[in-house]
């Protein structure tokens, strides 16, 4: 387990940050942008959980929050040419598969979409839509970082499935899509 006795270290005052293996890189490096965006997605999911109250979906999201800490550690652990060190924490295929099962389970009860939907509806659904948008940004950042450094492909797949899960969950929280706010193309043109 992690034990933090002191919150500030002053080691980042020079604009660098440490990776899990002890190496350092600039705080604005693409890898660190991805780590930060994953952290922000995790915070947005925490806000969504707080807006939902106790329910099975909140428990799913709490598990995902833990996964996102794993994912942040994964992104912050360089991949070497040899086998991973025993302490390297990586997202694995079963974590991605769990998201797929949850998506399929929720999607089975939803009516098919007949329009794009706007991020809204119930307060809980709106919070989940916000988390989805932040998760998409985390995926874009991680994909950009993967063009510069080797990253775990399962971590990238996890981020892709996460935004899908959050989209379906938002619909579920909108009374299985009955309270979805549909996009009406050009609807505001006559309101000018």
Dump pLDDT digits (tens) for 156-177. Answer: 999 999 999 999 999 999 999 9
Q: From CA 117, how far away is CA 120, in angstroms rounded?
A: 8
Instruction: Report pTM.
Output: 0.89
How would you class 48 by CB atoms within 10 Å of its CB: exposed for 0-12, middle for 13-18, buried for 19 or more? buried
- Residue pLDDT, tens place only, 33-70: 999 999 999 999 999 999 998 999 999 999 999 999 99
Asked if residue 65 lies in contact with residue 46, where contact means CB atoms within 8 angstroms, the answer is yes
pLDDT beyond 90 at 84: no
- Return d(Cα 80, Cα 85) in angstroms, integer: 9
Determine the Cα–Cα distance for residues 37 and 135; give it in Å rounded to an integer. Answer: 8
Backbone dihedral region for residue 83 (phi beyond 0: left; psi -120 to 50: alpha; all else: beta): beta
């Amino acid at each position: 387990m992690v034990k933090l006795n002191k919150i500030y270290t002053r080691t980042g005052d020079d604009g660098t940050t440490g990776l899990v293996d002890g190496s350092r890189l600039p705080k604005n490096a693409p890898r660190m942008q991805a780590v930060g965006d994953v952290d922000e997605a995790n915070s947005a999911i925490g806000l969504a959980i707080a807006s939902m109250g106790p329910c099975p979906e909140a428990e799913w999201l709490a598990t995902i929050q833990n996964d996102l800490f794993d994912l942040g550690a994964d992104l912050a652990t360089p991949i070497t040419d040899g086998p991973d060190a025993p302490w390297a924490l990586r997202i694995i295929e079963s974590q991605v598969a769990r998201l797929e099962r949850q998506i399929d389970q929720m999607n089975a009860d939803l009516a098919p979409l007949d329009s794009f939907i706007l991020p809204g509806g119930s307060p809980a659904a709106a919070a989940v839509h916000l988390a989805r948008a932040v998760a998409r940004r985390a995926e874009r950042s991680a994909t950009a970082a993967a063009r510069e450094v080797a990253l775990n492909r399962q971590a990238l797949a996890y981020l892709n499935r996460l935004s899908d899960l959050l989209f379906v969950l938002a619909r579920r929280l909108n009374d299985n899509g009955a309270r979805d706010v549909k996009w009406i193309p050009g609807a505001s043109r006559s309101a000018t």
